[in-house]
Chains A and B, each alone.
Chain A
């Protein structure tokens, strides 16, 4: 078997010129100086293995520290995010709750008005629903909704008090009441025949898509998003 010449071949004691020639011919060409200079590819096969420190290092040396891959400062940012989301969720819930309650109360008022109206008002001198329900809408919808949003604005201020960089910030909701829209949608005559239509319109205006509750929720969502985006821009703000 032709085994590759080892380093020991070169180191053998000299036995004369012939032996030297024989040894030279048996030498691996890659070990010659000119080959190493001109060769671009490293002779890895026969290269000496690198000395690993662990082999020579004493056994009782402490293991290298494993570097942490997380930043604990992020937790405060995440906690603040949760705080804002909790406020937003509570706002959504309370506004929906208030609008649902208002819808129920107003439906009862509609029934009450229809039951107590005299024949002339119901058949001859009919008025638009917006006019008949104006006082009830103010008492059952507008006031409770305003009250709910004010409570939630206060709740946000209280929450932010525990976050020093945001202590001064607050939310003030613009007026979501579009009287013209209510008057237009409830322009239908307040009669027993229109009972279902009136109730449907009231339900849509309060709880439907783009209704009063929906608009309030959208406002809170946008407000919370702005807060959270601001936090992303300034990660050290909390």
Chain B
């Protein structure tokens, strides 16, 4: 059920995409002929709810889609299986299946801190496994207070989750966003260190750090939207997109110590995440210029219980 914000369904744009009349860049759908932006893709609260249940089994980009699909019948109800199937079909038609089911998400908001916290927890659980595999590499991380940063980040997500019940939630959201910027800078620094080190990049460690970095950034932007600081959220998004581009473009499928098929899947998702980040400022700009309030936008996404993927048309 759609709210006052006039969302549309991606299904309407799929025929155009198939014949090339419509092209997709990140979360933007645009007219191939005129170049006009037709709409912005966005996952709703139900998408996050569905995916958060299957996250624990998704360890690497190569197995993300299959693990979500395979988890289907065992953990979901019949309705959820149908919703998940429809969502996967849409994501595959849009060629963003891996990004769609990853922790990073497609649209401008993560639509729900509860799910976000689950995502952090699933990453936290993987740290222990990873520590066993790459003990030597993680010694340095532990020294630099990796766990401290991780728990600090989770605590901030919790604060954001509870901010709604405050007298002045906007203030809290802004405070959380500011502190998450520091956390994001930490994870970014670790990634830079990993990439700059001589030799192949440790794939599992890199993928974990990259997810943490991108999650931090997603929550940062989400908080700014909830605080209705749309112009700031837009500028932050532009900066984030630039950072992704600067860092991830240096990496190719053969940059990792893992099999290059795994490397290819990881790089694909990094490219999709960069495109998605580049397209966020356009959606935020649209919300701002159309005077759509940030909290109202997020609320309508969270309220959506029927459609996992939506399009905000720009007519």
Chain A residues near B (Cβ < 8 Å):
63, 65-70, 72-73, 75-76, 78-79, 82, 85-86, 88-89, 92-93, 96-97, 100, 213, 217, 221
Say yes or no: A86 contacts B271, CB within 8 Å: yes
B253 nearest CB neighbor, chain A only: A93
Say yes or no: A89 contacts B267, CB within 8 Å: yes
Shortest CB–CB separation between residue A22 and chain B, in angstroms? 52
Say yes or no: A75 contacts B231, CB within 8 Å: no
Complex contacts, B275 vs chain A, CB 8 Å: 78, 82
Say yes or no: B289 contacts A96, CB within 8 Å: no
A79 nearest CB neighbor, chain B only: B25
- Interface contacts (Cβ under 8 Å), in number, total 70
A220 nearest CB neighbor, chain B only: B252
Say yes or no: A67 contacts B35, CB within 8 Å: no
The residue that A85 contacts in the complex, of B23, B271, B282, with Cβ under 8 A, is: B271
Say yes or no: A89 contacts B35, CB within 8 Å: no
Category for how many chain B residues contact A: 20 to 34
B281 nearest CB neighbor, chain A only: A70
Say yes or no: B252 contacts A217, CB within 8 Å: yes
With A75-B30, A93-B260 already in contact, the answer to whether A69 and B278 are too (CB < 8 A) is: no
Say yes or no: B28 contacts A75, CB within 8 Å: yes
In the docked arrangement, what's the CA distance between A127 and B2, Å?
78
Report 15 cross-chain contacts, Cβ distance below 8 Å, ordered by A residue: A68-B285, A69-B288, A70-B234, A70-B282, A72-B30, A72-B35, A72-B37, A78-B26, A79-B23, A85-B249, A89-B264, A89-B267, A89-B271, A92-B252, A92-B253
Q: B291 at the A/B interface (Cβ < 8 Å)?
A: yes
Say yes or no: A96 contacts B253, CB within 8 Å: yes
Interface string of B273-315 (1 = CB under 8 A from A): 0010011011001001101000000000000000000000000
Complex contacts, A89 vs chain B, CB 8 Å: 252-253, 264, 267-268, 271
In the docked arrangement, what's the CA distance between A66 and B264, Å?
42
The residue that A69 contacts in the complex, of B25, B37, B234, B253, with Cβ under 8 A, is: B234
Shortest CB–CB separation between residue B290 and chain A, in angstroms? 8
Complex contacts, B28 vs chain A, CB 8 Å: 75
The residue that B254 contacts in the complex, of A65, A66, A85, A96, with Cβ under 8 A, is: A96
Most chain B beta-carbon neighbours within 10 Å: one of A63, A75, A76: A75
Shortest CB–CB separation between residue B284 and chain A, in angstroms? 9
Complex contacts, A97 vs chain B, CB 8 Å: 260
In the docked arrangement, what's the CA distance between A96 and B253, Å?
9
Contacts A92-B252, A213-B254 given; 10 further ones with Cβ under 8 A?
A: A68-B289, A69-B234, A72-B30, A82-B275, A86-B271, A89-B252, A92-B254, A93-B252, A217-B254, A221-B252
Shortest CB–CB separation between residue A66 and chain B, in angstroms? 5
Complex contacts, A217 vs chain B, CB 8 Å: 252, 254
Complex contacts, B278 vs chain A, CB 8 Å: 78
Complex contacts, A88 vs chain B, CB 8 Å: 252
B238 nearest CB neighbor, chain A only: A70
B251 nearest CB neighbor, chain A only: A89
Complex contacts, B268 vs chain A, CB 8 Å: 89
Chain B residues near A (Cβ < 8 Å):
23, 25-26, 28, 30, 35-37, 231, 234, 249, 252-254, 260-261, 263-264, 267-268, 271, 275, 278-279, 281-282, 285, 288-289, 291
Complex contacts, A221 vs chain B, CB 8 Å: 252
In the docked arrangement, what's the CA distance between A136 and B299, Å?
65
In the docked arrangement, what's the CA distance between A89 and B285, Å?
31
In the docked arrangement, what's the CA distance between A100 and B26, Å?
33
Say yes or no: A63 contacts B291, CB within 8 Å: yes
Shortest CB–CB separation between residue B268 and chain A, in angstroms? 8
Shortest CB–CB separation between residue B235 and chain A, in angstroms? 8
Complex contacts, A65 vs chain B, CB 8 Å: 289
Complex contacts, A96 vs chain B, CB 8 Å: 253-254, 260
Shortest CB–CB separation between residue A69 and chain B, in angstroms? 5
In the docked arrangement, what's the CA distance between A68 and B287, Å?
10
Say yes or no: A69 contacts B30, CB within 8 Å: no
Complex contacts, B36 vs chain A, CB 8 Å: 72
Complex contacts, B288 vs chain A, CB 8 Å: 66, 69
Shortest CB–CB separation between residue B207 and chain A, in angstroms? 16
B272 nearest CB neighbor, chain A only: A82
With A86-B271, A93-B253, A217-B252 already in contact, the answer to whether A66 and B35 are too (CB < 8 A) is: no
Most chain A beta-carbon neighbours within 10 Å: one of B35, B249, B253, B268: B253
In the docked arrangement, what's the CA distance between A96 and B259, Å?
10
Shortest CB–CB separation between residue A216 and chain B, in angstroms? 10
With A75-B25, A85-B271, A93-B264 already in contact, the answer to whether A66 and B252 are too (CB < 8 A) is: no
Shortest CB–CB separation between residue B172 and chain A, in angstroms? 26
Shortest CB–CB separation between residue B250 and chain A, in angstroms? 9
Shortest CB–CB separation between residue A181 and chain B, in angstroms? 21
Complex contacts, B271 vs chain A, CB 8 Å: 82, 85-86, 89
